Amino acid sequence: MSESSNLHIAVIGAGPGGYAAAFLAADLGMRVTLIDPELNPGGVCLYRGCIPSKAMLHVAKVIDESRHAKNWGVEYGDPKIDVARLRSWKESVVKKLTGGLGQLSKQRKVEYIQGWAAFENSNTLRVKRANGNDDSLSFDRIIIATGSRPAVVPGLKLDSPRMLNSTSALDLNDVPSTLLVIGGGYVGLELGTVYAALGSKVSVVEMLPGLLPGADRDLVLPLHKRMEKIFESILPNTTVASVKQESGGIRVTSDGPEVKEREKVFDKVLVSVGRKPNSDIPGLEKTQVQVGQRGFIQVNKQLQTDDPAIYAIGDVVGEPMLAHKASHEGRTAVEVIAGHKVAFEPNAIPAVVFTDPEIAWCGLTETQAQKENREVKVARFPWAASGRALTLDRTEGMTKLIVDPQTERVLGVGIVGVSAGEMISEGVVAIEMGALAKDIALSIHPHPTLSETIMESAEVFFGASTHVYRPNR
Ligand SMILES: Cc1cc2nc3c(=O)[nH]c(=O)nc-3n(C[C@H](O)[C@H](O)[C@H](O)COP(=O)(O)OP(=O)(O)OC[C@H]3O[C@@H](n4cnc5c(N)ncnc54)[C@H](O)[C@@H]3O)c2cc1C
């Protein structure tokens, strides 16, 4: 047994960061206490984020495909939507997964406390249990994994059941006749896609010039085109000036060059303008932990805060606010506590937008390369040349590699198209392994699959892809 196995660790917050940390700490022989207000581990991701949204997006996809099937000679008629059953199916998915995590905690002998934690000092927490008890507990190390919550814009604060955030939108209380989504980030677009499939007339406003500001524009374009078909309107460069409750809905006043009706009434309004880190933990000021200007807890590459006893991971320490980043940070923090020589310094954290088509990217983006004046070569493979895409009737996709022209090393991968989220992992492995474009071109990919588009984009890099004819070489 190593020295670290004598340590007693507390993890505050049982999201994908917190429970991954707690489980590894237990696997390494440490004594672990995991604290979270929910009945079981899961955090935002399982209870009101990744998992329920993806369950609903699956339903949206089935509805959409069934409608599309008439192009192939198969007609189903209009879907009948039983909202209560849909909701209970989604809830059953969440319950199964979170219950499974509860089991895994027990099997690992992690002490799971349902409750809220506050700091008394760097090593002591006051834990308010859900059963009403209040305890003061001391630990050798504490990992903060308190995550984030939906950001609130002061001008858009309105106490009304018609005003939704991502959490209440996922509750799926009904299907509004009209829905305005404020914010064209991935959460707004994913939830907008769900409600549009269920029958709402969805409009989207985004303050910036385009949807999904973090993604390369050529990846966003096919999605934008498809969304123009499923949404009533998409208004970039538009800000919402005010929201007012009326008897029939929410009156929204918007400003922007493309706004035709400045005031419009919507049945419901979903505000999805980003997330705010939960760094306002009571008593944190009694420790040496420092919080930066944007509210993120400051950590180094070992996930150590300015307080030697306290580590922090996940959404509460910064972007990208994604579940897989949180869990990798969680495991790294525990390894650091265990004395392993490790740091969190990935070359590629994948980002996936689970719309239809999906967008996924990892490593260097083309936009980032341009901003940094970095010389790169971009090889694109259009899915119109993919046999698999054609069999799916989804040829709007595109796969691209961002390659260092000198070393021919793959620096970034971007994909737009169905199942982009499943395929991006190949890009992550390629980048992390330092793969050259040649390695990808020479790795035999199965036919007919969409993954071949990654291999063929590497062939495009060398100017001779089987399915793309270049007359002027
Ligand atoms: C609608 C939606 C869809 C999303 N989809 C995806 C996706 O597809 N893929 C993806 O990677 N990410 C997605 N995310 C983001 C993802 O949910 C977060 O990045 C992830 O949950 C962060 O994990 P975390 O462990 O840092 O914290 P969280 O999951 O936020 O968990 C933190 C936990 O700490 C608890 N807590 C806070 N304060 C205290 C305290 N004082 N005491 C005890 N407990 C406390 C909270 O209640 C919470 O349970 C989505 C988010 C939303 C909202």
pLDDT above 70 for 472:
no
pLDDT tens profile 77-117: 999 999 999 999 999 999 999 999 999 999 999 999 999 99
- Beta strand pairing status for 31-36 and 111-121? parallel
Q: By alpha-carbon position, which residue is closest to atom 9 of ligand 1?
A: 50
- Output the ligand 1 site: residues, CB below 6 A: 12-18, 35-38, 43-45, 49-50, 53, 116-117, 145-148, 166, 187, 278, 281, 314-315, 321-324, 326, 354
Assessment of whether the complete model's pTM goes beyond 0.85? yes
Ligand 1 atom 49, closest CA: 43
Write the pLDDT tens digit of every residue in 168-181. Answer: 999 999 999 999 99
pLDDT of residue 359: 98
Residue percentage of the chain with pLDDT more than 70: 99
Contacts for 346 with CB less than 8 Å, ≥ 6 apart = 328, 432
How many CB atoms sit inside 10 A of residue 70's CB?
11
In ligand 1, which atom is closest to the CA atom of 315? 26
Chain segment 344-363, per-residue pLDDT in tens: 999 999 999 999 999 999 99
Instruction: Give the residue, by CA position, lying nearest to ligand 1 atom 12.
Output: 322
Atom 27 of ligand 1 has which residue's CA nearest to it? 147
Q: Ligand 1: which atom is nearest the Cα of residue 149?
A: 30
Give 314 Cα–ligand 1 centroid separation in angstroms.
8
Mean pLDDT, the chain, rounded, equals 96
pLDDT of residue 41: 98
Average pLDDT over residues 313-324: 98
Contact 309, 303 (CB under 8 A): no
Active site residues: 447
pLDDT at residue 469 in the model: 83
Q: What mean pLDDT is predicted for residues 45-63? A: 97
Centre of ligand 1 to C-alpha 11, Å, is 14
Q: Using the mean position of ligand 1's atoms as its centre, give its distance from the Cα of residue 174 in Å.
A: 24
Q: Whose CA is nearest to atom 34 of ligand 1?
A: 13
C-alpha 191 – ligand 1 centre gap (Å): 17
| Residue 393's pLDDT band (cuts 50, 70, 90) | very high
Q: What local confidence, expressed as pLDDT, does residue 3 receive?
A: 67
What's residue 155's pLDDT?
85
pLDDT digits (tens, 9 = 90+) for 1-48: 566 778 999 999 999 999 999 999 999 999 999 999 999 999 999 999
Phi first, then psi: give them for residue 197, nearest 5 degrees.
Answer: -65, -35
Rg of the chain, C-alpha, whole Å: 24
In terms of Cα–Cα distance, which of 376, 383, 453, 370 is closest to 412? 376
Q: What is the mean pLDDT of residues 197-208?
A: 97
